[in-house]
């Protein structure tokens, strides 16, 4: 729906009057293919409705618990974040936690894109990794059986994937974590490439058309480069101190994987992203963890949540300042002809 404040909720049964139509195929080569875009979302027709009175609620139906829970949690995260942070930082954090970028000011999105850090607003494997590491640290402090801890971690990651709408990058990272944890439970050695390819196979099995999705391609190709190229780069950067060497190797590997696709899909390549991500990724981890702490405290007390949010305000402000500094450099990015 295009309504700003939709009065209907998941589970409502609606009686709708309108005209059912098929998406129009592009007539010119290279034009945006709206039909394919909708097909990837498993939408093959759409209904044109001209008046709001043509939509009428006639009842409620039993809803899927996981979907209902995920939508409620998503709305609550947004509500608490908006109550505890001023704009545009509340919208930045919502982007980091849920991947929603629609309310982030366009100029700020442009700054993040030019600094090569737009991925922190897309909810990716980075965010799943941050949450998984934080949960592992938390669960390790509890005196619980090892298997129970790992099963709890898997359950929470699946719930987070559902809250974010099972985005390709989140689904990929979640499947990989589940496979790695499963291997640990049965004492099998881990193989990141096998986990990556199995995750791709499973996602494509569920939705073959997602192969044409930019997010799917970027997620898997960048992960493949990080897994296989970053160890080689760490060897090449052996004379650099460890706390710079490892992030630099990962950032360089990711950039080498992403720049051809970035040039193809967006006609723009960030040159500075190799360096900017070394500073931004640790801060993103702090912002995401503080964001979820704010959410959980906010379920009990908004005033107490505001204290944590004030700390996060400083982190988000620093992220924005670093992004603006890098994007303002004359060599930050280059345009590529389509």
Across the range 62-80, mean pLDDT stands at: 88
Across the range 283-307, mean pLDDT stands at: 96
In this structure, of 28-37, 193-202, 253-262, 297-306, the range with the lowest mean pLDDT score is 28-37
Q: How high is the pLDDT of residue 68?
A: 85
Across the range 210-229, mean pLDDT stands at: 89
Is the CA virtual torsion 169, 175, 178, 179 positive or negative? negative
Average of per-residue pLDDT values in the chain: 87
Dist CA 277 CA 246 (whole Å)? 12
CB 220 within 8 A of CB 201: no
Across the range 170-181, mean pLDDT stands at: 87
Across the range 120-135, mean pLDDT stands at: 88
Burial 314-331 (b: 16+ CB within 10 A, else e): ebbeebbebbeebbeeee
Q: How high is the pLDDT of residue 87?
A: 94
Dist CA 299 CA 219 (whole Å)? 33
Q: How high is the pLDDT of residue 1?
A: 42
Across the range 207-212, mean pLDDT stands at: 86
| Banded model confidence at residue 267, pLDDT cuts 50, 70, 90 | confident
Q: How high is the pLDDT of residue 8?
A: 79
User: Angle at which helices 273-298 and 89-98 pack, to 10 degrees?
Assistant: 90
Dist CA 117 CA 139 (whole Å)? 30
Q: How high is the pLDDT of residue 5?
A: 63
Q: How high is the pLDDT of residue 125?
A: 82
In this structure, of 76-80, 124-128, 236-240, the range with the lowest mean pLDDT score is 236-240
> For every residue of 192-252, which 3-state class applies, written as one string?
HHHHHHHHHHHHHHHCHHHHHCHHHHHHHHHHHHHHHHHHHHHHHCCCCCHHHHHHHHHHH
């Amino acid at each position: 729906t295009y309504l700003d404040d939709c009065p209907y909720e998941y589970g409502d049964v609606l009686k709708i009057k309108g005209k059912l139509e098929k998406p129009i195929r592009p007539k010119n080569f290279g034009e945006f293919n709206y039909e394919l875009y909708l097909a990837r979302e498993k939408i093959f027709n759409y209904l044109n409705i001209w008046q709001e009175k043509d939509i009428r609620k006639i009842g409620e139906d039993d809803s899927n618990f996981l979907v209902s829970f995920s939508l409620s949690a998503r709305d609550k995260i947004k509500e608490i974040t908006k109550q505890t942070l001023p704009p545009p930082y509340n919208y930045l954090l919502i982007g980091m936690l849920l991947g929603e970028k629609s309310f982030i000011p366009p100029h700020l999105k442009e700054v993040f894109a030019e600094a090569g850090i737009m991925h922190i607003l897309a909810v990716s494997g980075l965010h799943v990794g941050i949450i998984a590491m934080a949960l592992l640290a938390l669960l390790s402090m509890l005196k619980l059986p090892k298997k129970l801890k790992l099963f709890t971690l898997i359950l929470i990651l699946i719930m987070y994937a559902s809250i974010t709408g099972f985005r390709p990058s989140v689904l990929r990272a979640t499947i990989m974590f589940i496979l790695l944890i499963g291997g640990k439970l049965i004492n099998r050695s881990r193989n990141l490439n096998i986990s990556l390819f199995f995750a791709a196979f499973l996602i494509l099995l569920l939705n073959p058309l997602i192969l044409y999705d930019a997010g799917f391609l970027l997620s898997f190709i960048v992960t493949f480069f990080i897994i296989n190229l970053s160890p080689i780069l760490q060897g090449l950067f052996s004379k650099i101190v460890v706390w710079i060497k490892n992030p630099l190797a990962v950032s360089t590997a990711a950039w080498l994987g992403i720049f051809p696709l970035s040039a193809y899909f967006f006609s723009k390549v960030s040159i500075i992203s190799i360096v900017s991500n070394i500073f931004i990724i640790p801060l993103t981890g702090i912002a995401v963890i503080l964001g979820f702490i704010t959410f959980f405290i906010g379920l009990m007390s908004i005033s107490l949540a505001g204290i944590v949010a004030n700390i996060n305000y400083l982190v988000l402000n620093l992220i924005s300042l670093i992004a603006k500094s890098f994007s303002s450099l004359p060599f930050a990015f280059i345009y590529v002809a389509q």
